[in-house]
A and B are shown apart, each in its own frame.
Chain A
Amino acid sequence: MTNYRIGIDVGGTHTDAVMLDESYNVIAEVKSPTSEDVSTGIYEAMRKVVAASSVPVENIRYAMLGTTHCTNAIVERKRLNKVAVIRIGAPATLAIKPLIGVPDDLRSILGNHVYLVRGGHEFDGRLIAELDEQYLYQIAEEIKGYVDSIAITSVFSPVSSDHEMRAADIFREVLGEEIPLSLSHEIGSVGLLERENATILNAAIVNVARTTADGFIQALKKEGIHAKVFFGQNDGTLMSVEYTVRYPILTIACGPTNSLRGASYLTEHANAIVVDVGGTTTDVGVLVDSFPRQSSLAVELGGVRTNFRMPDIVSVGLGGGTVIRIQEDGSFQIGPDSVGHRLPEKSLIFGGDTLTATDVAVALGKVQLGDAGRVAHLDKEVLEKVYERMVGMVEDTIDKMKTSADSVPVILVGGGSILLPGELKGASEVIQPKNSGVANAIGSAISQVSGQIEKIFAMDELGREKTMEAAKEMARQEAIIAGADPDKLFIVDFEDVPLAYLPGDATKIRAKAAGPLARN
């Protein structure tokens, strides 16, 4: 009996779905408009792909979903939880209270239950102060019934998580096992304010994640599908529903990540630059050993500075539906607005009244699509310049993402990738794989399970080699806990950064292990 899996990925314009068999062959692929509530579009895409594949529904074993629910909730400030913000670190850190520097509208939603507690650690693991457990018990009583989620951040918890763990025990003891707790050491890295912000945002979207998961499971059941559901996270690996509800923030930016993973799978390239041309934007990312390279900078999310791991993606405002404006003097402007999924009604080649990037490519004969006669009257000379600029925008972005001047393979994916030529500056080769239009949904379906750690180590204690091995082993253990097959694990990412002005060879190490789902 053949088993199947569904992969779904929500983009800004389209929600894509694929059905794969157990050898990852594509049985069916569909595109569906992304709906305003996101969920309706997901269910629609799911039903369409099930119908198109005509596989027996009882043989669909897994369903992988990469969604934008959590990002949207933060950006729109809607459906957020009532959060208690607990910072452990006093007397240190009082000079900048939690949520200072966060936009006022968000601060007024999330800043109503803020507590500063004595405790926390130094960079080398010594105590700043004993943890004030009595105060934590008092806080737990105070917030009972007033909040539905708790964010706990302790100073230097990436070095020692003791105080966050102890605080979590106290809250569970008083408020029950069910109370959702977000612990900062599991979410972000060194940089208190950014990590705390990420933890607060995580706590704020716990319910959004739960409703999304429940809704998806119900929608599958309605179709008679009893698949195990996984969510895509932004490092290209999967989370169980239980894990997703605890760490919903890790789903943010999983879309571009899925495209990268899908591109890697479809081309069997482990190291390449991936260009994903959608309806509104082009996202450019870098594959390193089959996984997306991560950003090392603080990332803004809904106006909030955070530092949880994110794929290093640069977006430019160029997609299939990007609106092109040409003035009488021949000057022109490319976007940034787009007709999005209304391309089939708005663009000239489909009988609409708006000149889009797709029309330009068709008029110049780069692509066969729609009715080329409708764009035949346009001034080719100007269009050539527009096209040259479009390609230039992508080439510049590719160059910015490279780490050296050497040429690298470039993989084109996404519905709009047909617009781009077969040769690009800085590319050793340009590859457009089969099924590239739904590479993101394929990436979602084939995801692996991973474990990651990021900690500061004193290299002079164990020596460099042993410390690095210890860090890798910690990452492997995390992956096994997440459900990976222990025999097929490998280290997919490793980075060590020496820290300036500190003794003991203090080094920040990040390690990630990944592997396929364990069979049982």
Chain B
Amino acid sequence: MRYIGKEEIENIAIGAALLGTGGGGDPYVGKLMALQAIEEFGPIRLLSVDEVPDDALVVPSAMMGAPTVMVEKVPSGEEAIESFRTIREYLGKDIFATMPIEAGGVNSLLPLALAARIGLPVVDADGMGRAFPELQMVTFYLDGVSATPMVLSDEKGNNLLMNTIDSVWAERIARTATIEMGGSVMLSIYPMDGKTIKKSSIHHSLTFEEQIGRKIREAKQNNESPIDEVLKITNGYKLFKGKVTDINRKTQEGFAKGKATIEGLDDFKSEECYLHFQNEHLLAETKDRVLCVTPDLIAVLDSETGMPITTEGLKYGARCVVIGMPSDAKWRTPKGIEVAGPRYFGYDLDFTPIEKLLCKEGQ
């Protein structure tokens, strides 16, 4: 067990932006919520997965809805608490700890704000190891854990308890309810016991985000390029360096889809990289080879500052470095690839792990 204070939150927010792989919502609102909660209620206890008893109840907390709404209608902080009260009453059991379902974007910070407010510890784990757009895209789902019972809560005091036949239905109904409740709600979801957490979650996520954030900040302070440090700590690969020369975007079924063309610079001169995204960066390729594809992680970093660039922030002329990072082994199973692999997102290719893709090139 260790404590998370303001300094750690600043670092986690930067790591969360990187693992957000271009999407996941700006961690800024989550960061400020956590900072205010720590200011008022003191630091947060962070537990490693081993410190959770097998029979203890852990309930992850997350937001659902449009990040655009959340940056305008900031939460009250009570939604998540009410949501927890409702699910505890329904399950008839005390909640031992909370945790994020997503190690990327705003959702990695929100459980920390909740934890500070109600004095619960946070488990150092999550269900993605990155950001994904849909509720069933978590490692718990791959192991057959049910998303429900789940509770949606808004700031007005409405709490919606759901039991659905599967997580896809949970996603479908929750999406519609979220709109009616004002476009952005807090969730209690995937309630699990300690034993399940140990087996089905991705471990050390918050510590990982914190380390990434600290490295980036330290490198910036020392006027060094943070990109090499990031590659070291994530076992990542530098896939491409260049300048964005074209962006093609469209909004489809509520998702911001598109393709960016990056013209190579330095070692990559005379090559072009095509980056496909749908809220997150999902596929990086050149004319004749695939560089990295979901569920492996793709992040685009500003080549000067090393700060992550979101899919919305990509624009012509941006000098950037594209990096690829291996996803957790749980995503590389047939079930993992079915749920969050290239074909699910409509890309006509099979998943190949990043280290194999680059091996073929003899790198």
Bound together, the chains give a CA A101 to CA B32 distance in angstroms of 7
Residues on B with C-beta less than 8 A from A403 are: 315-317
Closest to A508 in B: B68
Knowing A95-B76, A403-B316, A405-B245, say if A122 contacts B182 (CB, 8 Å): yes
Knowing A499-B68, A500-B256, say if A94 contacts B78 (CB, 8 Å): yes
Residues on A with C-beta less than 8 A from B36 are: 95-97, 100
Bound together, the chains give a CA A297 to CA B69 distance in angstroms of 17
- B113 within 8 Å of A by Cβ? yes
Closest to A123 in B: B183
Q: Is B251 within 8 A of A93, CB to CB?
A: no
Q: Is A190 within 8 A of B68, CB to CB?
A: yes
The A-B contact count (CB < 8 A) is 117
- B155 within 8 Å of A by Cβ? yes
Bound together, the chains give a CA A124 to CA B183 distance in angstroms of 9
A162 to B: closest C-beta gap in Å: 16
Q: Is A191 within 8 A of B72, CB to CB?
A: yes
Q: Is B66 within 8 A of A95, CB to CB?
A: no
- B33 within 8 Å of A by Cβ? yes
- A136 within 8 Å of B by Cβ? no
As a 0/1 sequence over residues 215 to 238 of chain A, the CB contacts with chain B under 8 angstroms (1 = contact) are 000000000000000000000000
Contacting B at CB under 8 A, from A489-508, are: 498-503
Q: Is B179 within 8 A of A96, CB to CB?
A: no
Q: Is B75 within 8 A of A192, CB to CB?
A: no
- A129 within 8 Å of B by Cβ? yes
Bound together, the chains give a CA A402 to CA B317 distance in angstroms of 7
As a 0/1 sequence over residues 52 to 74 of chain B, the CB contacts with chain A under 8 angstroms (1 = contact) are 00000000000001111101111
As a 0/1 sequence over residues 150 to 178 of chain B, the CB contacts with chain A under 8 angstroms (1 = contact) are 00000111000000000000000000000
Q: Is B245 within 8 A of A96, CB to CB?
A: no
Residues on A with C-beta less than 8 A from B156 are: 91, 128-129
Knowing A91-B76, A123-B69, A128-B73, say if A498 contacts B183 (CB, 8 Å): no
Closest to A499 in B: B68
Residues on A with C-beta less than 8 A from B316 are: 402-404
B348 to A: closest C-beta gap in Å: 24
Bound together, the chains give a CA A193 to CA B31 distance in angstroms of 13
Residues on B with C-beta less than 8 A from A401 are: 317
Closest to B69 in A: A123
- B246 within 8 Å of A by Cβ? yes
- A390 within 8 Å of B by Cβ? no
Selected from A92, A404, A498, the residue in CB contact (under 8 A) with B75 is A92
A509 to B: closest C-beta gap in Å: 14
Q: Is A190 within 8 A of B76, CB to CB?
A: no
As a 0/1 sequence over residues 30 to 54 of chain B, the CB contacts with chain A under 8 angstroms (1 = contact) are 0011011100000000000000000
Closest to B263 in A: A405
Selected from A94, A123, A402, the residue in CB contact (under 8 A) with B182 is A123
Knowing A97-B36, A498-B251, A500-B279, say if A91 contacts B72 (CB, 8 Å): no
Closest to B23 in A: A500
B153 to A: closest C-beta gap in Å: 12
Residues on B with C-beta less than 8 A from A270 are: none
Knowing A122-B182, A128-B155, say if A100 contacts B72 (CB, 8 Å): no
Selected from B76, B179, B246, the residue in CB contact (under 8 A) with A503 is B179
Bound together, the chains give a CA A124 to CA B72 distance in angstroms of 12
Residues on A with C-beta less than 8 A from B65 are: 501
Q: Is B78 within 8 A of A100, CB to CB?
A: no
Contacting A at CB under 8 A, from B309-338, are: 313, 315-319
- A38 within 8 Å of B by Cβ? no
Show the binding face of B for A, using Cβ within 8 Å: 29, 32-33, 35-37, 65-69, 71-78, 113, 155-157, 179, 182-183, 243, 245-246, 251, 254-256, 279, 313, 315-319
Sample of 14 further A-B pairs with CB below 8 A, known A91-B76, A95-B36, A498-B251: A91-B78, A92-B75, A94-B76, A94-B77, A94-B78, A101-B32, A190-B72, A401-B317, A404-B245, A405-B246, A499-B66, A500-B67, A501-B65, A501-B68
- Chain A to chain B: the 9 pairs with minimum beta-carbon distance, closest first: A95-B77, A501-B66, A400-B317, A92-B155, A93-B74, A94-B76, A498-B251, A95-B33, A122-B182
**Sampled A-B contacts (28; CB under 8 Å):** A91-B157, A92-B74, A92-B76, A93-B74, A93-B76, A93-B155, A95-B37, A95-B113, A96-B29, A96-B36, A96-B74, A123-B183, A124-B183, A126-B182, A155-B72, A156-B73, A191-B71, A192-B73, A399-B317, A400-B317, A400-B319, A402-B317, A403-B315, A404-B245, A404-B316, A498-B251, A501-B65, A501-B67
